[in-house]
Amino acid sequence: MVFSSLEFLFFFLPIFLVIYYISPGKIKNAVLLIFSLIFYSWGEPVYILLLIAASIVGYACGRLTEKFAQNLFLKRLILIIGVGFGVMLLAVFKYTDLIISTIDSVFSLDIAAPKLRLPIGISFFTFQIMGYTADVYMGRIKAEKSFVDFFTFICMFPQLIAGPIVRYQDVSEALHHREHSLKGFSGGVFRFTNGLIKKVLIADRLGILWTAIKGSDYSSLSASSAWLGIICFTLQLYFDFSGYADMAIGMGRMMGFRYVENFDHPLYSRSITEFWRKWHISLSSWFRDYVYIPLGGNRKGVLRHIINILIVWALTGLWHGASWNFMVWGLYYGVILILEKYVWGKGLEKLPSVVRYLYSAFIIVLGFAIFDITDMGLIPGYFKALFFMTGAAPISNDFIFYVMNYKVVIIAALVFAAPTYTFLSERVRRINSLYIRQGLLFSGGLIRVAAFIIAVSYMVSSAYSPFLYFRF
């Protein structure tokens, strides 16, 4: 996939920012829109028509909903059309092959799957459009009157490809009136740099290790290597996805937008309930507001609450990919959340924090084994390796080799997955000596610059991989 390259973004961004800042305020949205379409077209020249069509439908549904605000039947019909169109796009382009292959396997048919290429970012922009349509219907927001501004909201290139899922009400004011300042720009550069370092220097290094272990023979895989591999994938996914979120949020700030935070150190959680309040926050809140609450939430009895949770988490799993392992992964979390709510949640709160952290980490890591091994037939074999059932020595030479070669990046990942930076920043601010404080800040800045240069050198040499959430 051509779009996997970071070079285009890296060289595209300065050109865009120069033109954006010298453009008059009245046409900044148009400039942003044009560059966003160029950005998307560079990776998906065909599917840009799909993006335009989805945006036209979303815009029209918003305007028509307000026009027929007093006609409940028409309002509902428009909502059904708007949401149905988004669901149809996902069903056709994302799930057709899964549906056909499942029918083939159940009924022993021989239907050729079309193998449609997945439009980049379809899971994100369809959810933004459906959420907007629902919000206008519910009266939470006013429909956007300018198609250019609406299309800009959908197509803003920083978050178009892999989120966060931005809601109209969060950026509506900035769409029409936003401030540009040196402080905002420098803060955006700082955040963008964070994301690039997380992606290139941590996520991609861990990905190499996980690829090696994932591709091995599970029947002879040691438990130590199996656990090391899936822990590294968990860290890889976090730094890859949160790295992109940092880059998107940083680019947004450079332009005067404030996107929602998508992560809050989720791997250091004391329950799975807390984990899902901190991981992919924009997706969790989307399903809560547009699926879980409309289904009745927890307001219609225990049985209905359990059913609602399972529905939401089955959909959450399928959102991540057109493979049954994602459905299993979603239901896995649904069951755990039900158990925390109704069985052991109160007991869990009484345990020491360290036990609760270990409990959450164990469940999260196991879950990501289901998440990334898309062949359902291979998952049991990997779980056997995890739980010492392959007959291999618990600690293998491969494990020692991996640890010795990747120890620096593994330690860095474990440290920075925690709120380490926040903790250190707060301690530096509390130092009374201005000279010591400035010296520490200067040293930290030098380390950041060095890390950024190393990351860019990896990027230029193509020693990196595509963002993992591009495939969702």
Annotated domain spans of the chain:
2-178, 184-423
- Which segments in the chain show pLDDT lower than 70? 1-8, 43, 424-425, 427-430, 432-446, 448-450, 452-472
In the numeric block, the tokens 């370092």 are attached to: 197
Catalytic residue among 177, 180, 265, 320: 320
Two tokens at 217? Answer: 């023979």
Q: Tell me the CB-side half-sphere exposure of residue 396, using CA atoms within 13 A.
A: 19
CA-based nearest residue to 248, from 201, 169, 195, 181: 195
Question: Torsion angle of alpha carbons 305, 307, 312, 316, nearest 10°?
Answer: 130
What's the pLDDT score for residue 358?
Answer: 95
CA 135 to chain centre: 22
- The Cα 90–Cα 127 span in angstroms is 10
Within 10 A of 343 (CB to CB), how many other CB atoms are there? 10
Sorted by sequence, the CB contacts under 8 Å of residue 191 that are 6+ apart come out as 246, 247, 249, 250, 253
Report the C-alpha gap between 393 and 317 in whole angstroms: 34
Residue 470 has a pLDDT of: 57
Q: How many helices and strands (H and E) does the chain possess?
A: 22, 0
CA nearest neighbour of 469 among 266, 243, 153: 243
By the 8 A CB rule, do 124 and 162 touch? Answer: yes
Q: What is the pLDDT of residue 262?
A: 92
pLDDT for residue 452: 65
176 is an active site residue: no
Is residue 54 within 8 A of residue 160, CB to CB? The reply is no
Q: What is the pLDDT of residue 428?
A: 66
